Amino acid sequence: MSHDPNCLFCKIIQGQIPSKKVYEDDEVLAFHDIHPWAPVHFLLIPKLHIASMADLQPEHAAVLGKMSILVPRLMKELGVTNGFRTVINTGSDGGQEVFHLHMHAMGGPRPWLKG
């Protein structure tokens, strides 16, 4: 799989930086956010280095679909039963800070009302 040796998330995938894993398989990794905005807040990333949603190609459809399907399952496993939010920030103006495609999944009582 393609990776960027300077990418923070690629380093997490490679095991060079520790993370608190939620889920892992051959294509994706989910781990808890180190600065959570909600009682449950994890990131879901493809293991293939894709810089942002703007860089997606037709061949990436399956992995993005897999990520979308995994979120409800993982939220349920983590005890979130009354809804959750998913966010993909894209590009600098979209609030993206790490340029490796990632989906935030946040659950719990109204997490987006962080004060």
- Indicate which residues carry an active-site annotation: 102
Continuous segment of H or E residues that includes residue 104: strand 103-107
Per-residue tokens: 83? 């809804």
Instruction: Tell me how far CA of residue 91 lies from CA of 18, 38, 76, 96, in angstroms.
Output: 25, 23, 30, 5
Per-residue tokens: 42? 């994890």
Smallest Cα–Cα separation from 90: which of 104, 77, 71?
104
